[in-house]
Amino acid sequence: MTLNVVILAAGKGTRMRSDLPKVLHPIAQKPMVQHVIDTAKCLGSNTTNLVYGYGGNKLQSAIKDESLNWVLQAEQLGTGHAVAQANDLIADEDTVLILYGDVPLIQTQTLDALLAVKPKQGLAILTVNLDNPTGYGRIVRKNEKVVGIVEQKDANSDQLAIQEVNTGIMALPGKQLKTWLSQLSSDNAQGEYYLTDVIAMAHRDGVEITTAQPQSAIEVEGANNRIQLAQLERAYQLREADKLMLAGANLRDPNRIDIRGNVSVGMDVMIDINTIFEGKVEIGNNVNIGAGAIIINSTIADNAVIKPYSIIDNAVVGEDASAGPFARLRPGAELKQDAHVGNFVEMKKSVLGKGSKAGHLTYLGDAQIGEKVNIGAGTITCNYDGVNKSLTQIDDGAFIGSNSSLVAPVEIGKMATIGAGSVVTAKVEDEQLAVARGKQRNLNDWKRPSKK
């Protein structure tokens, strides 16, 4: 089978009350249409055509994908008209799958099931049964066979009572599709060319029509306003939360987690409330992630602990290591095995060695720190001179006293000690004590300022 996907994404989305094209509004921080494009790729489509209209420049700026064929629908005259714009890109032997850029939760397995029931020379429609089908085109059957679809505004009272509705998603043979599209009429309540009219044409021509249904109705729901967008967001997040729990994670509350990328977890992972995961995140076994943590494109190894309200951004947390609460690991930060950073410690492009610790109120930037190093509160690696970034190297077993400033480039030797409050500008050799601070003076006749 040669699969040719046509994604309809030309609508303005007036009810969104936004200058942004509707399909660019995000679910899990990714445009709705990008979800659909990614799903099409998972199907192994040979060709993917994106039919666009309103906000085309914004759409092309946001969706960078060389594999897409961009098809302009200059006037929005209905779904049938939209698909017809891709006629020149459809071969007779293709199976054409119609998808929608504002229906982001459709799953690969649902579309696989639809394609599986499609007759070789026939077509297949994805339908769903709704308790309240208002607004949807109804599936009209005779002797249990699909004979057509009638839109809400064109339906009579008997047809309005039908609960099986059209989702708009269908798979059709390329040759017949092009023939049927050329026969569409806009003689209806909306004055548009309905794609759904091809179903009646297929029945007229004796073409076999089959149906499939999604596992859940939410898969085929679209977003026409921000309320519906928020509902899809929550449904997506619950679906992702289910995946984590099935993989071995214990979520304190599946309703209070946000996944905006791809997260993999090991066994016996504990994730507290209001956590956010972005990009590619890999979490090992027996990891504990505290409330309010934000983890972005990072790796968390076995037995690590991320305490509440910490930000782990493009960083690595090693086995048995811990960060937080209120720690921030910026890009290039790495905690080796059993290392620890505490509250209000920030790391950037630095490695904290095995068993080393920085308990609180510290900035470690462009630093290579060895094993079993203790870094006191208020320590700063002064890595930036206003023009260049320089390295601070702290060797195994060193002790850095509180409120020290290490002015890079500088090296602190093994088992060296830095006295509290020191400003270190030159190399400290192994096992040396460095005290770099002004001599204390106590003045007897000094008087405090008085209020004027």
CA distances in angstroms from 196 to 77, 119, 168, listed in the order given? 14, 18, 8
Residue 136 marked as a ligand binder: no
**Residue 106 in this model has a pLDDT that exceeds 80:** yes
Phi–psi pair at 154, nearest 5 degrees: -105, 0
pLDDT given for residue 440 in this prediction? 83
pLDDT given for residue 235 in this prediction? 97
Residue 73 marked as a ligand binder: yes
How large is the average pLDDT for residues 124-142? 94
**Residue 13 in this model has a pLDDT that exceeds 90:** no
Task: Name the percent of the chain lying above pLDDT 90.
Answer: 89
Q: Place 449 in a pLDDT band, splitting at 50, 70 and 90.
A: confident
pLDDT given for residue 425 in this prediction? 97
Query: Which DSSP category does 386 fall into?
Result: S
CA angle 40, 46, 49 (to 5 degrees): 60
Domains of the chain: 3-215 (3.90.550.10), 334-452 (2.160.10.10)
CA distances in angstroms from 416 to 50, 64, 434, listed in the order given? 63, 52, 8
Q: Place 292 in a pLDDT band, splitting at 50, 70 and 90.
A: very high
Catalytic: 360? yes
Mean pLDDT for the chain overall: 95
**Residue 151 in this model has a pLDDT that exceeds 90:** no
Its pTM stands at 0.90
**Residue 412 in this model has a pLDDT that exceeds 90:** yes
Distance separating alpha carbons of residues 257 and 274, to the nearest angstrom = 5
Tens-place pLDDT, residues 92-101: 999 999 999 9
pLDDT given for residue 322 in this prediction? 98
pLDDT given for residue 441 in this prediction? 87
Residue 142 marked as a ligand binder: no
Residue 384 marked as a ligand binder: yes
Annotated active-site residue in 35, 81, 340, 360? 360
Burial of 273 (0-12, 13-18, 19+ CB in 10 A): middle
pLDDT given for residue 72 in this prediction? 95
Distance separating alpha carbons of residues 390 and 409, to the nearest angstrom = 5
Task: Name the percent of the chain lying above pLDDT 70.
Answer: 100
Q: Place 407 in a pLDDT band, splitting at 50, 70 and 90.
A: very high
pLDDT given for residue 377 in this prediction? 98
pLDDT given for residue 334 in this prediction? 98
Distance separating alpha carbons of residues 399 and 83, to the nearest angstrom = 69
How large is the average pLDDT for residues 300-325? 98
List CB contacts of 181: < 8 A, sequence separation 6 or more.
80, 83, 84, 87, 198
**Residue 189 in this model has a pLDDT that exceeds 80:** no
In terms of phi and psi (left: phi > 0; alpha: psi -120 to 50; beta: otherwise), the region of 57 is alpha
Distance separating alpha carbons of residues 70 and 270, to the nearest angstrom = 44
